[in-house]
Structure 1
Amino acid sequence: MRKITLSNGNTVEVECLSCALTSGLIEPEGGVVMETEFFHAHQDVAYPIKGLVILASKRHIKCLDELTEEERIDYITALSQIRKAQRETLGIEHVYYFYNEDTTHHFHTWMVPRYEWMYEFGRSVESVRPVLLHARNNMNSKGNMKEVINAISALKEALRS
């Protein structure tokens, strides 16, 4: 079991975070952003940054090359739809995408928006970790969490259309 600290400060113990999220055992803040046959999109549970979306496979795999042809098509379609909604609905101009294969849970892609306030930490990929830690440690206010929830609602609405 792994102990995970959520953005709201609560901790949960799970074998696999992605299994817990995609199965509904853990409800991500604001609910599911989008769900397809093969993927589950949600606000990152650890970092309260509006528009920070995780697109996770429902199947327990770790690598991009493990996706079936049908899953690859679903993945790129979902990723594109979410990105379009981030830009058109939330005004997010730039996003950093990350996925790693040495994760302790499912294949997933982080879609990390870049906001003006983040540039005080730098303008490269090296700045992302300090940005995430800053968000986790300093952005759990009711006001920011309300913005995060509103962004999730806006994304969900845009993705339903």
Structure 2
Amino acid sequence: MRRITLSNGKIVEVQCLSCALTGGLIEPDGGVVLETEYFHAHQDVAYPIKGLIILASKRHIKCLDELTEEEKLDYIKVLTKIRKAQRDTLGIESVYYFYNEDTTHHFHTWMVPRYEWMYEFGRSVESVRPALLHARHEMNNAKNIKEVMDAIDALKNELNK
């Protein structure tokens, strides 16, 4: 079991955080943003950044090449649908996409919005980790959490029409 601290400060003990989230054992802040037969999208549970979405496979796999043909099609369809909603609903102009195979979780993609405040940490991908840590440690306040929750609701409304 792993001990994981969520953005709301709650500590959970799970074998796999993604399995716990996609299986409904842990409710992500704001709930599920979008769900399909193969994927589960939710606000990142570790970093309170408006519009930071995790797209996780429901099946416990590690690598992109393990997706079935149906999952591949669903993945790109859902990824682009979420990205369009981020732009149209939240005004997010730029996003970093991260997917890694050396994770302790299973297959998932981070969709990290790029905001003006992040430029204090740099102008490229190397700025993302410091921005994430800044959000976790400095943006866990009522005002920002409300903005994150409002963004989740806006995305859910748009994506589930």
- The structural deviation recorded for 1:106 is 1.1
What does residue 158 of structure 1 align with?
Answer: 158
Cα RMSD, aligned residues only: 0.4
SS of match in other structure, 1:128: helix
Partner deviation per Cα, 1:15-43 (whole Å, 9 max, x = no partner) = 00001000110000000000000000000
Q: How does 1:1-150 map to 2 (within 5 A)?
A: 1-150=1-150
Q: Which amino acid aligns with 1:157?
A: N
**TM-score of the superposed pair, with normalisation by structure 2:** 0.99
Structure 1 stretches of at least 4 aligned residues deviating more than 3 Å after TM superposition: none
Aligned length: 161
Residue 105 of structure 1 and its aligned partner are, at CA, apart by 1.2
Amino acid at match of 2:36: T
Structure 2 runs not aligned, ≥5 long: none
Could you tell me the TM-score, scaled by structure 1's length?
Answer: 0.99
In 2, Cα distance between equivalents of 1:10 and 1:97: 26
Letter of the structure 2 residue corresponding to residue 156 of structure 1: K
Q: In structure 1, how many angstroms separate the alpha carbons of the residues matched to 2:33 and 2:100?
A: 22
How many percent identity over aligned positions? 81
* CA positional deviation for 1:160: 1.3
> What is the deviation of 1:10?
1.1
Distance 2:125 2:52 in 1: 15
Deviation per CA, 1:89-124, whole angstroms, max 9, x where unpaired?
Answer: 000000000000011111000000000000010011
> Using the alignment, how far apart are the partners of 2:124 and 2:116 within structure 1?
13
User: What is the CA deviation profile of residues 128-156 of structure 1, one whole-angstrom value per residue up to 9, with x for unaligned ones?
Assistant: 00000000001110110000000000000
